[in-house]
């Protein structure tokens, strides 16, 4: 039953990402018709800077998932409810307090970084963005609790609803209030997710309200210790995007920052289908290792199967995505923009390679072994700081983008190598002939898209359409010859039987 549950959770997680991605693309489509690229870059900068308020939550929200999964597997929903209540109250107090304290500092910082003509927008966006961060941080506690109860189907429906609210609010608010209305959109979405998360958690755990009001000093210490490790990782992770945006703005202005934000969101959405599916590994392994010794053979088996499925899906899928980028960006933006395509290709390659560490990363988090997850983010942040400054001084925004891509790749490789060494795995366990052919196909797709982006006849729809169709045909042939399709077939049957 456990395997079927993991498969079903993965399917719902992917469905949620697909629907949310569609809503997000429509949201940005509306934004691009009401705002300039510079204004979108400003909103991106404001949101990135306010994430510093999330640093005060000590990782409590993310830590809830592992402990709730263990409590539910042990038949202790009352203790799970107590853990959720403690985490939600602590996160609300800590994040709200820091948001109030950092507002004047961030306001002064953003005023110095942006043109005077946009200061009115900064003053309108900053308080709303901070309120959205506080509401979102508390809401994430309840989303983590739902995941810990291994009901990702419920969480998926809630988040799809939140994306639809964001789309509707953007359509209604943005034409009337311009860039200042983006803050109202974020607050509305965060508030809805929080309320829905609370209601869903109460229904799933079926515990009286007093169960959430208790306090267990030992559990809170465990939660804080585990969450603190996750928070160190989160600090480096959260700082990466704002730091890259600050460096881009410093060396090239808000326009390139806007291009980066839009391109990065597209690529993040493309990879989020896979990340969402593999998120089901965390509560699964947490439930199987809670209060128990870790069985290395069990972990090796889960990793091999997870990596086989990842490569089976990732390589053909990313080959098609890479080949489709020029066409997708033309349709989405309403016209060809070579800078947009080139920025998107850089982000695409970086996040594609970064995904290879996903099974190792998720298994480490589920087992509570956070050393290398922390170090991987620290490596990424350190490379971003050093190489980003050097690259920006050397060749402006292009250097910053390339430094960011290098940081994402090297940081992820570190955690994968560490995991394989710790559990006695070899590259030969995953580097199958089918996987190598898939790597080559992705590289061909990226190279072809880069060539198309520099063609003089950039509006030639025949070329734009032929590229993804041709790569898609090769990807289907690759999948058909891959022995891993038997494993995928078994997973599909497991979902149907659940």
Mapping DSSP onto H, E and C, the string for 239-298 reads HHHHHHHHHHHHHHCHHHHHHHHHHHHHHHHHHHHHHHHHCCHHHHHHHHHCCCCCCHHH
Q: For 85-112, what is the mean pLDDT?
A: 86
C-alpha dihedral (17, 19, 21, 25), degrees to nearest 10: 180
pLDDT of 496: 47
Look up residue 370 and give its DSSP letter: -
Q: Give yes or no for residue 199 having a pLDDT over 90.
A: yes
Average pLDDT score over the chain: 79
Give CA–CA dist 412/352, Å, rounded: 11
Give CA–CA dist 428/432, Å, rounded: 7
- Pick the closest to residue 18 from 363, 273, 400 (CA basis): 273
How many other C-beta atoms can be found within 10 angstroms of the C-beta atom of residue 29? 15
| C-alpha 410: how far from chain center | 18
- DSSP conformation letters of 390-419: HHHHHHHHHHHHHHHHHHHHHHHHHHHHHH
- Pick the closest to residue 280 from 1, 49, 3 (CA basis): 3
Q: For 195-224, what is the mean pLDDT?
A: 86
- Pick the closest to residue 125 from 107, 137, 139, 138 (CA basis): 107
Give CA–CA dist 288/431, Å, rounded: 28
Q: Who has greater pLDDT, 238 or 24?
A: 24
* 3 state DSSP class of 498: coil
Contacts of 328 (CB under 8 A, 6+ apart): 266
**Tokens found for residue 331:** 């349709």
Q: Give yes or no for residue 461 having a pLDDT over 90.
A: no
pLDDT of 19: 79
How many other C-beta atoms can be found within 10 angstroms of the C-beta atom of residue 97? 13
- DSSP conformation letters of 297-349: HHHHHHHHHHHHHHHHHHHHHHHHHHHHHHHHHHHHHTS--HHHHHHHHHHHH
The rounded percent of the chain whose pLDDT value lies above 90 is 2
pLDDT of 238: 67
Q: Give yes or no for residue 480 having a pLDDT over 80.
A: no
pLDDT of 10: 67
């Amino acid at each position: 039953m456990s395997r079927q549950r993991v498969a079903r959770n993965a399917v719902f997680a992917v469905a949620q990402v697909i629907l949310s991605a569609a809503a997000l693309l429509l949201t940005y489509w509306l934004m691009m018709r009401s705002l300039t690229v510079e204004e979108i870059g400003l909103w991106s900068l404001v949101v990135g800077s306010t994430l510093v308020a999330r640093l005060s939550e000590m990782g409590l929200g993310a830590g809830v998932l592992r402990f709730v999964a263990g409590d539910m597997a042990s038949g202790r929903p009352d203790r799970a409810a107590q853990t959720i209540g403690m985490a939600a109250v602590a996160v609300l107090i800590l994040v709200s307090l820091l948001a109030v304290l950092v507002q004047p500092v961030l306001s002064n910082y953003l005023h110095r970084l942006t043109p005077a003509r946009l200061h009115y927008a900064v003053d309108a966006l900053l308080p709303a963005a901070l309120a959205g961060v506080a509401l979102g941080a508390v809401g994430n506690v309840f989303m983590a609790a739902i995941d810990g109860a291994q009901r990702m189907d419920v969480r998926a429906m809630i988040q799809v609803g939140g994306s639809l609210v964001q789309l509707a609010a953007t359509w209604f608010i943005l034409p009337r209030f311009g860039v200042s209305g983006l803050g109202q959109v974020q607050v509305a979405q965060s508030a809805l997710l929080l309320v829905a998360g609370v209601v869903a958690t109460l229904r799933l755990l079926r515990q009286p309200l007093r169960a959430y009001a208790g306090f267990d000093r030992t559990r809170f210490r465990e939660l804080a210790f585990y969450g603190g490790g996750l928070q160190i990782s989160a600090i480096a992770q959260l700082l990466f995007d704002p730091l890259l945006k600050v460096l881009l703005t410093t060396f090239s202005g808000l326009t390139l920052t806007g291009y980066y934000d839009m391109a990065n969101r597209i690529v993040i959405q493309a990879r989020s289908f896979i990340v969402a599916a593999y998120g089901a590994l965390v509560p699964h392994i947490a439930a199987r290792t809670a209060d128990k010794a870790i069985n290395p053979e069990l972990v090796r088996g889960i990793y091999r199967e997870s990596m086989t499925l990842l490569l089976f899906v990732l390589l053909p899928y990313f080959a098609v995505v890479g080949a489709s980028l020029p066409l997708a960006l033309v349709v989405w933006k309403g016209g060809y923009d070579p800078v947009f395509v080139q920025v998107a290709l850089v982000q695409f390659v970086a996040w594609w390679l970064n995904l290879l560490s996903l099974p190792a990363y998720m298994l480490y988090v589920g087992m509570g072994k956070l050393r290398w997850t922390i170090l991987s983010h620290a490596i990424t942040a350190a490379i971003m700081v050093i190489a980003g400054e050097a690259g920006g001084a050397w060749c402006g925004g292009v250097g910053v983008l390339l430094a960011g891509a290098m940081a994402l790749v090297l940081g992820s490789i570190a955690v994968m190598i560490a995991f394989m060494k710790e559990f006695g795995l070899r590259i030969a366990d995953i580097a199958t002939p089918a996987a190598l052919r898939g790597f080559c196909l992705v590289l061909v797709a990226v190279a072809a898209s880069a060539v198309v982006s520099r063609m003089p006849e950039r509006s030639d729809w025949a070329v734009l359409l032929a590229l993804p169709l041709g790569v898609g045909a090769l990807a289907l042939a690759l999948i058909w010859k891959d022995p891993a399709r038997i494993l995928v077939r078994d997973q599909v049957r497991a979902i149907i039987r659940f």
